[in-house]
Amino acid sequence: MSSNRPNDQIDGATKGGANDVAPSQRFSDVPSTLDIPVHIEQKNEDDDAEAVEIYLENLSDPNELCSLLEIERAAPTYWMSVALAYAKQSKTDYAIETLIRGRNAIQDNDSKGRLSIVSFLCWMYLWKCREAPRLASEGVLVSEAKTKEYYLQLAVSTLNDASRINPSFPPLFLARGVLYLLRASLQAPSKARAASGASVDSEKADLLRRALESFEDAIRVSRGKNMLAVMGKSRVLFSLGKYSEALAGYQEVLAKMPDFIDPDPRIGIGYCLWKLGFKEDAKVAWERSLEINHKSKIATVLIGLYYLDASSSTPIESPDFIRIYKKAMTEYIQKSFKLDSNFPLTCATFAGYFLSRKSFPNVDSLSNKAIQYTDLNVIASDGWYLLGRKEHHAGNLDRASDCYRRADDARGGAESGYLPAKFGTAQLLILQNDIGEAKLCLEKMVQHSRNYEATTLLGTLFAEEAFANEYTAPKEDKSAQRAIRLLESVRAAWKDSRNSHLPDATVLLNLARLYETEYPEKALQCLLQVEQLEIDRIAESEDHIGKKDKSGTQTALRNALRDFIPPQLTNNIGCFYFQANDYELAGEMFEAALSACMRLGEEDDDDDTDIDALITTISFNLGRSYEARDLTDQAIEVYERLLKHHDNYTDARTRLAYIKLCQSPQDKGPDSVAKLYEDNPTDPEVRALYGWYLGKVYSRRRPNSIAEDPELRHYKHTLQNHDKHDRYALVGMGTLYLQSAREMRRGTDQEKQKRSAMYSKAVEFFEKTLQLDPQNAYAAQGIAIALIEDKKDFQNALLIFLKVRDAIKDACVYVNLCHIYSEMRQYSKAIESCGVALSKEDKSNDPTILACLGRVWLNKGKADRDLNAYQMALECSQKALNAASEQVHLKFNVAFVQIQLATTMYSLSERQRSLQQLQDAAKGLEQAIAALDEIAAHPQCPYPKHDVDQRANMARNTLRKQLERAIASQKEYEEKNKEQLRAARERRQAELRRREEERQEALEKERERLARIKKEREEIAIRDRELAEKRVEEERVITAADMTTDSETGDKIKRKRKAPKTKGEKRPKNRSGKKGNADSEDADDEPLPKKRRLAKRESTKYKSAEIVADSDDDSVLQQTGLGLEKEYSPRSDRDSADEHDSDVGGVSDKTVEDEEPETGSRYRPQKQSRRTRIVDESDEDE
């Protein structure tokens, strides 16, 4: 829009500066003196009447002057002149008093004079209404207060009196329009507008429509010459939201009256442009207004508001913000305040500045001025809001709430209203601990406006509610999800380049805490972003600029500045790294946190932060990271150093006892655990460690009755006497019942029922644990195992295992998955799960996992009758035995696989096996028989000795003989079919050789074809290079022919060409009948008559260039250059032959390719054309 608007619509159609424009014309017709005629008895009729001269420059009390006018029965013009003089001196009350006495003094028969005075009095009331306060002062009755409404009623009454005298009096139309416009401006917005969604209240819109009709009547009566009426109409359109139409009206006024500055249409133009989104153009209009009238308070404050708006989109930390804000306040707002200290817009803006400076007395006085003297509800709303902020800061919550309510109501309240006032009300509700009402208020704001601050506060409230309900109602509470959604939307606003919102550490910390349980990786990212904010803040401070210069990389800078970051933040980041098994980074974070604690202890001894508690906690975390990295000595050193300062630190003692138990499981370890348990029998962590220790001690010699198990009795004691909700004890008891059920007999129905009851009891403990901790993966895993072993419910158990797999980063989960996949006959997935388990740390040679994998391969071999699967099962079983040779059951597994392999081998047909495979199976069978004999004689036989002996005897007596017969049969089969096998093998080899020869022959042909293509491409490339070189040489020749020598300087310059001849233009000739040079001075002005002949184009196979040299030309080479000036490709020659023929009269130039037919370029013969054209002699010369 700005590009289409003429400059004179803003600049006032003036080309000069401000001095070229006349000053304001208001009150310019008021004389400095006034001669009032007096009635004195005259002695001579010829004597002139006397008059009293009144000076109108500095008038005082109008009583004497009005008495004089009444006595002398002065004409209405004298009364109006005196009133205008008072108005010019801003003595509005004296002007009104003068007009009232004048109205009373005028006789009723002088209706014209009375109408003028009454209409003038109406304007004075309107002016007084602009200056009067909106509200009655304290101690003054509302009925007696002279407020804006009071003077507005007087103006209405006076206007009605004037209308009774002459309703068609032209000035009354303009007065009525201004009256309606002022009343609409003072009309308080109703809440019905917000409910209906209309942009303007119905009552206010009705008043504006009446004002529009009055202004249109004034324009019609004046035949479009009343520019004040046009401006009034534009003001109404602006109030109705029709900014484009209002802009056109203001521009019309400016175009017709460029020297009109009071009121200034440029102000209205700027308003409309601002509303239309052209803020820069609005500033230009206001600057032009200020340039014309340096004392324009409205233009000054509007430019200041422009710069304040610009500063709102600039980050506060940016130096541009300080520069722009300072320019707005000092150069414009302060100047406007000096011009008029009661101007409402300036007072409201200045009050906001003093509020930021906490100068509350100034805020109070300026805000009250803005409220009292403004005609606009929005400015009154700003004043009430600033008063509410002042009372809010002072702690007067009731008074602040009332001010916020008034500020909101001044802009419509309800869903529209004033967002800052609504936000302040929500803050007051939080201070009053009415969180529910505060959330309701904020939700309405977020729903209708998506306000950034409201979203942040609402998300924080939901986050606090989620933290409070974390352990009370985790399932039913949805506060955490709502808080995450709101705070994430705030976080997304930081990335929007259209906004100036900066990242907030509080929002990130709340998000990190919300993500801590279910999404630890997101929580870690939030904390890392907070750390980056802290590093950026510290790096920009003056105390650490040197560190920023010395650090070569970003990593080095981060490490150098971590000592100045709050240690709590660094410690939390380290804890998340530890949880993610990144122990190296976790240790670095704990060390940096310790360094920061040391710095805090040295710098600020009076800080309330408990430095010793921080050092103790972070040191323990550092020791745990050392343990995870197998730096046991360093971990022991850290724990012992902690115990020197705090000898009763139970966590450190627990870790030391655990380390000693792992290092010395026979002497020092048990003593340390027993001593720790004796000193701290009630500590839950100590009791958990002692229960784990009992499980390790009695793992190999469990009592026959589970009730006598020491570990179970310990857990039961913990639940009964210390904490009935101890989750470790509950999971431990469930695990013990699960193991006991697994070992129970299930031969009869009664035994099966007892076993199922034991599984049910184990499940009860796991379910109780999940009620206390829904995220406990170990309890969920126990339930899945019970479902498989008791109910054979593989599908539901598999779903549980898949969820547990994401929570427990341990090989046991994948082993369980291997078992369940094997039971479901999904052997590939089972083998894959075992492979993942073996890839875990220190699990590559785990005998249990290897034995499980061997079992899966064995089941796969049985199902598929696959000898390779049997071989893999045997290999895995032997690896497990090698890893734990003392385990008797692993030796049994190897023997069992060997027996199964021999049995399967015997059952196969002669074509499915070989003699060598049978001999290997027989050898393995002998090893299995020997192993079974050893296992049966072992004192710790894993199975009943009778069963082992029976299996060995079966292998010795039955399988051995079966394999012997199978070996003899296989030998006979292979001898009998030896010749057939040899012949088949030879035929197979011959067929393979033939296929190989055919393949080699095809490859050779393909290589020859590729070599031929490569050679042809090289030849084509050589030919193309030669053609390119020839073309470059010919272009050089053409360029040289187009150059000539300057007669003055001797330099080579480009030859000037003759201007092209237009259609119908006759070419001038010289006297010799030839075509003359364009630069020749001897050319004759009158051309000779032209001779015409028919030119017939000859048809040839190859096009040629017919060049006729002129005797007057400089050289034949120049004409040759003209013939070769246009160069084109061979394809264009073929496609555009007719076009070139028509350009040169049937004769075409030949290109480089045409002159070299031997290069291989091919052309289609041109079809002979029968067309002829008349060619004059000048064309023939060309």
Tell me, letter by letter, the H, E, C secondary structure of 735-787: HHHHHHHHHCCCCCHHHHHHHHHHHHHHHHHHHHHHHHCCCCHHHHHHHHHHH
pLDDT score, position 471: 65
Question: How sure is the predictor about 24, in pLDDT bands with cuts at 50, 70 and 90?
Answer: low
Note whether 867 and 905 are within 8 A (CB): yes
Read off the pLDDT of each residue in 147-167 and give the average, rounded to a whole number: 90
pLDDT score, position 1008: 93
Read off the pLDDT of each residue in 306-319 and give the average, rounded to a whole number: 86
What b/e readout covers 828-859, taking b as 16+ CB neighbours within 10 angstroms?
eebbebbebbbebeebeebbbbbbbbbbbbbb
Note whether 673 and 661 are within 8 A (CB): yes
Question: How sure is the predictor about 192, in pLDDT bands with cuts at 50, 70 and 90?
Answer: low
Residue 235 pLDDT exceeds 50: yes
Q: Could you give the percent of the chain with pLDDT greater than 70? A: 82
pLDDT score, position 934: 87
pLDDT digits (tens, 9 = 90+) for 988-1028: 899 999 999 999 999 999 999 999 999 999 999 999 999 99
Q: Is 1044 helix (H, G, I), strand (E, B) or coil?
A: strand
pLDDT score, position 1130: 39
Residue with tokens 């190296």: 584
Residue 478 pLDDT exceeds 80: yes
Read off the pLDDT of each residue in 641-664 and give the average, rounded to a whole number: 90
Residue 49 pLDDT exceeds 70: no
pLDDT score, position 23: 47
Closest CA to 731 of 699, 776, 690, 701: 776
pLDDT score, position 139: 64
Return the DSSP state at 1152: H
Read off the pLDDT of each residue in 424-428 and give the average, rounded to a whole number: 93
Mean pLDDT is highest, among 697-706, 986-995, 1037-1046, 1092-1101, for 986-995
Give dist(CA 404, CA 938) in Å, integer. 91
Read off the pLDDT of each residue in 487-508 and give the average, rounded to a whole number: 87
Read off the pLDDT of each residue in 825-850 and give the average, rounded to a whole number: 88
Q: Is 1175 helix (H, G, I), strand (E, B) or coil?
A: strand
pLDDT score, position 553: 64
Question: How sure is the predictor about 90, in pLDDT bands with cuts at 50, 70 and 90?
Answer: confident
Question: How sure is the predictor about 608, in pLDDT bands with cuts at 50, 70 and 90?
Answer: low
pLDDT digits (tens, 9 = 90+) for 447-464: 888 888 999 999 999 999
Q: Could you give the percent of the chain with pLDDT greater than 90? A: 37
pLDDT score, position 1116: 37
Closest CA to 277 of 243, 238, 237, 314: 243
pLDDT score, position 907: 87
Read off the pLDDT of each residue in 1019-1045 and give the average, rounded to a whole number: 88
Read off the pLDDT of each residue in 433-445 and give the average, rounded to a whole number: 91
Task: Estimate to the nearest angstrom the gap between the alpha carbon of 852 and the chain centroid.
Answer: 50
pLDDT score, position 615: 92
224: left (phi over 0), alpha (psi -120 to 50) or beta: left
Read off the pLDDT of each residue in 177-190 and give the average, rounded to a whole number: 87
Q: Measured over all CA atoms, what is the biggest interatomic distance in the chain, rounded to whole angstroms?
A: 177
For the chain, give the mean pLDDT: 81
Residue 1097 pLDDT exceeds 70: no
Read off the pLDDT of each residue in 282-294 and give the average, rounded to a whole number: 93
Question: How sure is the predictor about 437, in pLDDT bands with cuts at 50, 70 and 90?
Answer: very high
pLDDT score, position 199: 65
Read off the pLDDT of each residue in 496-519 and give the average, rounded to a whole number: 87
Question: How sure is the predictor about 908, in pLDDT bands with cuts at 50, 70 and 90?
Answer: confident
Read off the pLDDT of each residue in 405-423 and give the average, rounded to a whole number: 86
Read off the pLDDT of each residue in 883-910 and give the average, rounded to a whole number: 88
pLDDT score, position 216: 93
pLDDT score, position 1159: 37
pLDDT score, position 972: 85
The backbone torsions φ and ψ at residue 160, rounded to the nearest 5 degrees and listed phi first, read: -65, -40
pLDDT score, position 250: 94
Return the DSSP state at 700: S
Terminal-to-terminal C-alpha distance of the chain: 56
Note whether 170 and 163 are within 8 A (CB): no
* Lowest-confidence pick of 395-409, 707-721, 849-863, 1098-1112: 1098-1112
Residue 570 pLDDT exceeds 70: yes
